[in-house]
Amino acid sequence: MIAGPPMRRYSNSSEILTPKKTKVSEVYMNQTGIISPRPAEVAASSFLKRLAARGIEYVFANAGTDFAPIIEVLSAAVGEQKYPTFVTVPHENLAMAMANGYYRITGKPAAVMLHVTVGTANAVCQIMNMARDNVPVLLCAGRTPATETGHIASRDIFIHWGQESFDQSGMLREYVKWDYELRAGQPVDALVDRALDIAMSEPRGPVYLALPREVLADPAVPMRRDNVRPLGVTSSVPSRQAVDQVVQLIAEARSPLIITSTAGRSPEGATALSNLCTSKAIPVLQVNAAEANLPSDHVMNLGLAQDPGPYLQDADLVLVVECVVPWLPRFSRPRPVTKIVHIGADPLASRYPFREFEADLLIAGDAAATLAMLNESVGAIDDEVLRKRRDWVAAEKAKALQARQDLVQRSRDASPIHPAWLAHCINEAKAKGTIIVNELGTAASRLEFRDQDSFIGTSPAGGLGAGLGTALGAKLAAPDRDVIAIVGDGSYMFGNPIPFHFVQRAQNLPILTIVANNHQWLAVKQSTLAVYPDGAASKANIMPVQELSPSPAFEKVAQCCEGWSEAVSDPALLPDALARALEKVRSGIPALLNVHTQAVR
C-alpha cells in the first residue's frame, strides 16, 4: 500500500476492478490511513484553474488513457468558464504547430496536452522548431500509471505497462528549457507557475511537464502563497557602458548595416527597429527572416535574403540583431576590418553546439529596448551622409524591384507555374491585414508585407509540417483576418493534412491553403547539386530519393473534409482561382489550391 493516494473501498482484494457502489465517490484514504470525506478538488482541477489564472486561453489536446482525471473535471464544469478552452487536435505535430501560430500572432503562450510517451514522440519535431524559434509553449503529457493496484487511477489496460519509460522527458530534454514530472504531495499550481515563468523568460522557449494519472486524481495540494503576476523575468536591458560602445561605432561608421531575422517579432521590436534605421539611415537586411520585421516598402528595407552576399563587403559596421546565422561563411563573410556587434537576448546562441561567427561586441538584452537606447543615444549624423545612405538604399531597392518584375514578366506564361508568378498573384489577390504562413512554398523575398504580424516563416530547425498547423493557430488568434498558408508538397504531406482539414471544419477556422506542388524534394536536389555540381547525380535522369511522383491529388484531400478545392496548372487561370478560393474562405468554407509549379525556388 503506497502512502497518500486517494483510495476506493473494495469488497475484497479479488474485486480490484469492481468497487462497491456505496459511498465510493465520497471517501478516500488520506496519508494517515484514515477514511475521510473526499476533498472538493482534485489536482487535475487545480492544474486547469491555474492555467486559466496565468492567462492560458487554449489547450491544444490529443487525448489518451492518461486524460481520465482531466476529462472528468472538464465534464463536471460544462457551461462554466473557469478553465481554458480545449481544442481537440487529432495529431500532436499539428497541435504543437497551432500553439506556434497562436503565439506568433498574440504574443501569448498556449498549452499543449498529449498522451504519455507516444504523444511526446510525435511532438518532438515541432519542439525542435519552437526551441530554435524561441517560441514559448507549455507542453504537458500524461504519464502512464505507475501503480498496478491500490489506486483509483492504477493501471487497468495492457498499454499501461508498455507505455512506461525510465525517463519520459529524456526524449526531448535537449530542446526544452525545463522539464519535470509532477509528484504526489506537490502543489501543481506552483509547477504551472514555474513552467510558464521559465518559458516566457528570454530567450523564450518550450517547457515540458509530465502529469501522472494517479497524481492528477489525488487531492489538490495548496500553494504556500497564491499570487498571480506577469509571466517570466522582466526583460533585461544592456549596460550603459555597452550601449555607449555601440553608439561610438555607429557614429564612426561610413557604411553600417543591420542584419536581423526576428528583431520585429514584437510590435515594440518592429517599432524600435524602424525608428533606428530611419533616423540614422542604416539599411536593414532580413536574413532567413521568420517575421515581417519591416514593411516591404520601408525606405531602409533592403528586403529578405538567404545570405547578405555583396552587402557584407560594403559594410564597415554590421549590427547583428536577433539573428543566429547572419551569413553563410562558405559563401560570404565580412571583411577583417569590419566591426561586428551581436545584439539579442542570447547573442552567443548558447543552445547551439557549434557556431563560429565574427564578433567584436556581444550585447545581451532585450532587442527592442537596446535598439531604442541606441536611437536615443546616437548623436546627430551629417545630413549629407544620411542622404547618401538613403539614396543608395533607394537605388538598391529599385534594382531588386525591377529584377522581380522582370522575372514575373518572363514567367507569367510558363507552365508548370513558376513560383515567382505564384507569389505575384498572391500579392495581387490578398487583402490588407492578411497573414501569410510560408513553408517552402515560394521565396519569401517575393512576397509583400505591411504589418508587423503579417508573415510567419520557416523555422531554422527545418522540421517540416509546421506550416499548416501554424496557419490554424494564427487564424484562431485572428479570426477576422484572412490567413494564407503556402506550403510545398512535401511540407503539406508532413503537416498531417487530414487532421488539419478536420480541425478547420470542427473549429470553424477557414483558411486558404496553397500547395506549391513541384512533385519533388527540391531542397534535397539543390543540396546534392551544391555539394556535387558535376557529379553523377547531376547527370541522372531521375535523382534518387528525391522524386515525389506520381503526385497525389491534394485537392481531393480537402474535399473529404468538406473543403472547397481546385488543381491549377495553367498560369493564366491562377488569378481567378485565387479569387474564387478567397471568396470561399471569407464565406466560412476552407479552401485549397493544388498549384503545379516548376522545380525552382
CA atoms within 13 A on the CB side of 513: 38
Claim to verify: residue 464 and residue 508 sit in the same structural domain: yes
Q: CB 166: neighbour CB atoms within 10 A?
A: 5
- CA gap 574, 593 in Å, rounded: 9
Residue 588 lies in a domain: yes
Q: What are phi and psi of 107, to 5 degrees?
A: 75, 10
Claim to verify: residue 51 and residue 193 sit in the same structural domain: yes
The mean pLDDT of 521-542, rounded to a whole number, is 88
Claim to verify: residue 298 and residue 247 sit in the same structural domain: yes
Residue 280 lies in a domain: yes
Residue 361 lies in a domain: yes
What is the pLDDT, as a whole number, of residue 545? 87
Strand order in the sheet with 591-596: 455-456, 435-439, 483-488, 512-517, 591-596, 564-568
429 and 406 in contact (C-beta within 8 Å)? no
**Residues 442, 448, 449, 454, CA torsion sign:** negative
Looking at the predicted structure, is the pLDDT value of residue 33 above 70? no
Which residue type sits at 223? M
Residue 234 lies in a domain: no
**Residues 319, 324, 326, 332, CA torsion sign:** positive
- CA gap 47, 6 in Å, rounded: 17
Q: For all residues of the chain together, what is the average pLDDT?
A: 91
Task: Report helix, strand or coil for 390.
Answer: helix
Q: What percent of the chain has pLDDT over 90?
A: 85
Select from 550, 573, 581, 522 the least CA-distant residue to 415: 573
50 and 193 in contact (C-beta within 8 Å)? yes
**CB < 8 Å & 24+ apart, contacts of 375-379:** 375/272, 375/275, 375/276, 375/279, 375/280, 377/243, 377/244, 377/247, 378/247, 378/250, 378/251, 378/280, 379/247, 379/251
Q: CB 233: neighbour CB atoms within 10 A?
A: 11
Residue 232 lies in a domain: no
Who's near 372: CB < 8 A, 6+ residues apart? 272, 275, 276
The mean pLDDT of 384-405, rounded to a whole number, is 96
CATH number of the structural domain spanning residue 87: 3.40.50.970
What confidence category does residue 5 fall into, taking pLDDT thresholds of 50, 70 and 90? very low
Claim to verify: residue 34 and residue 44 sit in the same structural domain: no
Task: Give the distance, in angstroms, between the CA of residue 327 and the centroid of all CA atoms in the same chain.
Answer: 23
Which residue type sits at 405? Q
- Provide the grid cell at 129: 522548431
Higher pLDDT, 526 or 176: 176
What confidence category does residue 468 fall into, taking pLDDT thresholds of 50, 70 and 90? very high
What angle, rounded to 10 degrees, do the helices at 267-279 and 367-377 form? 30
Domain that holds residue 151: 40-217
CATH number of the structural domain spanning residue 333: 3.40.50.1220
DSSP for 477-531 reads: H-TTS-EEEEEEHHHHHHT-HHHHHHHHHHTT---EEEEEE-SB-HHHHHHHHHH
What is the pLDDT, as a whole number, of residue 315? 96
- CA gap 133, 82 in Å, rounded: 31
Claim to verify: residue 34 and residue 180 sit in the same structural domain: no
Claim to verify: residue 387 and residue 320 sit in the same structural domain: yes
Residue 406 lies in a domain: no
- CA gap 244, 512 in Å, rounded: 48
Q: From residue 214, give the alpha-carbon distance in Å to each of 23, 51, 168, 192, 455.
A: 20, 20, 16, 18, 43
Looking at the predicted structure, is the pLDDT value of residue 77 above 90? no
Q: CB 431: neighbour CB atoms within 10 A?
A: 9
Looking at the predicted structure, is the pLDDT value of residue 228 above 90? no
The two beta strands, 27-29 and 35-37, are antiparallel
Q: How many domains is the chain partitioned into structurally?
A: 4
Claim to verify: residue 427 and residue 355 sit in the same structural domain: no
- CA gap 24, 538 in Å, rounded: 72
Claim to verify: residue 436 and residue 560 sit in the same structural domain: yes
To which H or E segment does residue 135 belong? none
Task: Give me the helices (H) in 347-496, please.
Answer: 367-377, 383-411, 419-429, 466-477, 489-494
What is the pLDDT, as a whole number, of residue 29? 47
What is the pLDDT, as a whole number, of residue 40? 62
128 and 175 in contact (C-beta within 8 Å)? yes
Domain boundary among 394, 423, 457: 394
Claim to verify: residue 308 and residue 208 sit in the same structural domain: no
343 and 320 in contact (C-beta within 8 Å)? yes
Claim to verify: residue 192 and residue 101 sit in the same structural domain: yes
Q: What are phi and psi of 336, to 5 degrees?
A: -55, -30
Paired strand residues for 486: 438, 514
160 and 222 in contact (C-beta within 8 Å)? no
What is the pLDDT, as a whole number, of residue 541? 83
Looking at the predicted structure, is the pLDDT value of residue 82 above 90? no
Q: What is the pLDDT of residues 310-369, one digit of tens each?
A: 899 999 999 999 999 999 999 999 999 999 999 999 999 999 999 999 999 999 999 999
Claim to verify: residue 260 and residue 335 sit in the same structural domain: yes
Looking at the predicted structure, is the pLDDT value of residue 36 above 60? no
What is the distance in angstroms between the CA of the first residue and the CA of the last residue of the chain?
Answer: 64
Q: What is the pLDDT of residues 238-286, one digit of tens each?
A: 999 999 999 999 999 999 999 999 999 999 999 999 999 999 999 999 9
Claim to verify: residue 498 and residue 449 sit in the same structural domain: yes
Instruction: Say if residue 550 is preceded by a cis peptide, omega within 30 of 0.
Output: yes
Select from 261, 375, 393, 382 the least CA-distant residue to 314: 393
- Provide the grid cell at 579: 479569387
Residue 403 lies in a domain: no
- CA gap 560, 505 in Å, rounded: 11
The mean pLDDT of 437-459, rounded to a whole number, is 94
Select from 107, 21, 65, 50 the least CA-distant residue to 474: 107
Residue 233 lies in a domain: no
Q: What is the pLDDT of residues 83-138, one digit of tens each?
A: 999 999 999 999 999 999 999 999 999 999 999 999 999 999 999 999 999 999 99
What is the pLDDT, as a whole number, of residue 24? 34
What is residue 91's DSSP assignment? -
